[in-house]
Amino acid sequence: MKKIGIAINNTKDIDNKILNFIIDKFQNNFDLEEIKIFSSFETDKQEFDSDMDLLVVLGGDGTLLNVAREVCNKTIVPIFGINIGNLGFLSSIEISDIDEAIEKIKEGKFKIDNRMLLHCHYDEDKSIRIDNAFNDIVVARGTLSRMVKFQVFVDNKLYSTFKGDGLIVATPTGSTAYSFSAGGPFIYPNLDLITLTPICPHTRSMHTIVLSGNSTIEIIPENGEDEIYLTIDGQKATKIKEATPIKVRRAKKHVQLLLFDDYDYFNVLRAKILNSSNE
């Protein structure tokens, strides 16, 4: 390992104590030629070397989502998430486990897990907008708006027409996030699947469905003069005009997560999602 990047959520490390602690750990254990440091909030402005060996992300799930989504547009690099936030479901480790983690990296006791991204595009005012999502793409009503009428097509075939608060299109990684809260199923993270989950449907004409990763979904929302928003990973929200067709499919690119050989998805699921839901 010669070149690494470190993306830090500065709001969780105002005095840089955590950042300097992690820098020392890597410098003392690897013969590094370069460590590139940047704010997780400025990932879209960064250039990434194609020969970068590892990208360390210091923050919580929101930080990792933002960094992973932006980095995949520029290069493919394994992401090593170190949780210094709250939930940390997507992180490789808690920061208290850094010494053990570094030993595993030195011994090669890790794997690279490829995670699906979703590609979303829509043509509004003849200006095509394109976004990638790591967790989910949500089309929903504004806070004070009425229910939205949705037409949902799968591979050019009408699946459902329904009224409700919104619709979630999720990756397997995102199946534990908003989709789960809305009643969607857990999907094992390395599967090639897409889920559609309605938010508070007014009728039973729309049910959660699990689709092939090769599917193309088209969503046409209608809400009169009321507001409709498209949100990417719960972070990037855009107001959408009524009857704007929104197309979603699997992205050609993917996110690489560094996970250790003893990583237990079900243990993390119980500890971070299921048990915390019962508290």
Binding site members: 61-62, 135-136, 146, 163, 165, 176-181, 235
Q: CA torsion, points 91, 92, 94, 95, in degrees to nearest 10?
A: -100
Dihedral, 45, 49, 55, 61 alpha carbons, nearest 10: 30
The catalytic residue positions are 61
- Return binding residues for NAD(+): 61-62, 135-136, 146, 163, 165, 176-181, 235
Q: Which residues contact 222 (CB under 8 A, 6 or more apart)?
A: 148, 149, 150, 151, 242, 243
CA 79/CA 232 separation, integer angstroms: 20
- Contacting residues for 276 by C-beta, under 8 A, at least 6 apart: 87
Bridge partners (DSSP) listed for residue 57: 7, 81
- Alpha-carbon distance values, 72 to 35, 56, 88, 114, 171 (Å): 19, 14, 20, 12, 15
* C-alpha of 189 from chain center: 11
Cα–Cα distance for residue pair 57/131, rounded to 1 Å: 21
Written as six digits, the tokens of 105 are 């990296």
Rounded Cα–Cα distance for residues 233 and 96 (Å): 27
DSSP state of 201: -
